[in-house]
Amino acid sequence: MLAIDYLDKRLKKKDTVSNGDAVSTDIEISIRNLNVSFPDKDGGEPVNALQNINLDIKQGEFISLLGPSGCGKTTLLRTIADLQQPTSGEISVRGLSPREIRLQKKYGIVFQNPVLYDWRTVRRNVCMPMELMGIPKKDRTARVTKMLELVGLMEFGKKYPHELSGGMQQRVGIARALAIKPEILLMDEPFSALDEFTKEKLHEDLLRIWKKTNKTILFVTHNIQEAVFLSDRVVVLSPHPGRVSAVVDIELERPRSLEIKNTPEFNEMVVKVRKSFESVY
C-alpha cells in the first residue's frame, strides 16, 4: 500500500466519523511534505536523508518506522523531536511545533545507543529527567524502583554504567525514558542490542505499559518481526533518498502475547511487510 493510498483511506474513514473535531484532535503528529537534507561538506550534492514525507500518527498509536540502515529513520525521529530542523515541509504535534512540544517536556526519547551519564549510578541516571521535570524526590525514588524492576535491573541500581553490559545499559536508557511518563515516546532501535529473551520480555512489557498509559509510541527498528508484533501500523522507509515506500496496517488482535508469533495471521503480516520491501528493491 502506498502512502497516498493510506491517506485516501484515512480521509474516507474521516467521512464516517460524525464529529469533525474528534478527528482533528485524534491526530497527534502530522507530517506534511517533509524534506531533510544534509549539506555535503566538500561542496558536493547535499544528502537527501528524507524526501517528501507525509504521515499522520494518531493519538495512542503504536507506529513503527522500518527500513534498512541509512534510510533516514533516525533523522525522521530526530526531526519530530526537534533535534533536527526540516529543510522544508512541516511537522505539527497536537497543532503545535515540535519545539513547543519539546519545551513542554512531552517527549521521552530512547536513543540508538544508551547515552548514560557515567558519573551517575544507574538509579541516578534514571532519575535525571525527573529532576529536570521538578518531580518531588519521594515520587522519583518510587518511580525509579518501579522502572528498574520493569527492565529487570533491580539489583544494579547502585552500579555505575561502565559496570553494566551493553544490553543492560540500553535497558537503563529505556527505564529513564519511561520514568517521565512521556506523552510521546520516541524509541530509536531500543532493543537491537539485546538478546532474544530480554527482547521478548521487554516487547511484552512495552505493550503492557503502552496499553495502560495510552501514549503514542514511535518505534524505529530494522526488524520486521519486531515491527509486526508491536505495531498498529508499520511505516516502511526506503533509502537514497529516504522516503515512505509503504504503510502497512497490522490487523492483529490485541492484547498480543508471544504465542501470536506462531499464528498464520502473524506470518501473513510479516510476509506482507516483507513484500512491500521487495517491491522497492
Partner 1 sequence: MKRIKKFFQSNNLVTLVWGIGLIIVWEIGAFIIEGSKRSPENVLPHLYQIVASVFSDKLVSNNQTAIQIVMSNAGITLFRAGIGFVIGAAVGFLLALMMNLVKGVEKTIFPYLMIIQMIPILGMAPIVLAITKDINKSRIVIAAILTFYPVATNTLAGFKSVDPQKHELMYSIAASKFEIYRKLLIPSSIPYLFTGLKIAAPMAITASILVDTLQGGGGLGCMLSQSLRHAMSIYVFWQIVFVSAIIGILSYYLMSVIEKLVSPYKRAKIKG
Ligand X SMILES: Nc1ncnc2c1ncn2[C@@H]1O[C@H](COP(=O)(O)OP(=O)(O)OP(=O)(O)O)[C@@H](O)[C@H]1O
Question: Residue 129 interacts with ligand X (CB under 6 A)?
Answer: no
Choose among 88, 130, 96, 107: nearest CA to 218: 107
DSSP code of 44?
S
Which residue, 48 or 169, has its beta carbon nearer to ligand X?
48
Q: Which stretch binds partner 1 (CB under 8 A): 39-47, 121-129, 189-197, 203-211?
A: 121-129
87: left (phi over 0), alpha (psi -120 to 50) or beta: alpha
With contacts defined by CB under 6 A, how many residues of the chain interact with ligand X? 14
Helix or strand run (H / E) with residue 248: strand 243-249
Cα 91-92-94 angle, rounded to 5 deg: 155
Alpha helices in 151-223 (DSSP H): 166-179, 196-213
With contacts defined by CB under 8 A, how many residues of the chain interact with partner 1? 27
Return the residue of 13, 24, 33, 70 that touches ligand X, per CB under 6 A.
70
Dihedral, CA atoms, 33, 36, 42, 43, nearest 10 degrees?
30
Question: Residue 162 interacts with partner 1 (CB under 8 A)?
Answer: yes
Which residue, 146 or 240, has its beta carbon nearer to ligand X?
240
Site for partner 1 in 86-105 (CB under 8 A): 102-105
Site for partner 1 in 46-85 (CB under 8 A): 81-83
- x-marked contacts with ligand X along 30-59 as a string, rule CB under 6 A: --------x--------x-x----------
Per-residue cell: 60: 495512542
Question: Residue 74 interacts with Mg ion (CB under 5 A)?
Answer: yes
Question: Residue 113 interacts with partner 1 (CB under 8 A)?
Answer: yes
- x-marked contacts with ligand X along 239-258 as a string, rule CB under 6 A: ---x----------------
Minimum gap (Å) between residue 11 Cβ and partner 1: 33
Q: Which stretch binds ligand X (CB under 6 A): 66-74, 134-142, 193-201, 248-256?
A: 66-74
Identify what 75 binds: ligand X, partner 1, Mg ion, none; CB under 5 to 8 Å per kind.
Answer: ligand X
Question: Which contacts qualify for 4-11: CB closer than 8 Å, 24 or more apart?
Answer: 6/247, 7/54, 7/56, 10/56
Spatial contact of 251 and 58, defined as CB atoms under 8 Å apart? no
Pairing of strands 47-58, 62-66: unpaired
Rounded distance, CA 90 to CA 34, Å? 6
Q: Which residues bind ligand X (CB under 6 A)?
A: 38, 47, 49, 67, 69-75, 112, 222, 242
Q: Which residues bind partner 1 (CB under 8 A)?
A: 81-83, 102-105, 107, 109, 111, 113, 115, 117-121, 128-129, 131-133, 159-160, 162-163, 180
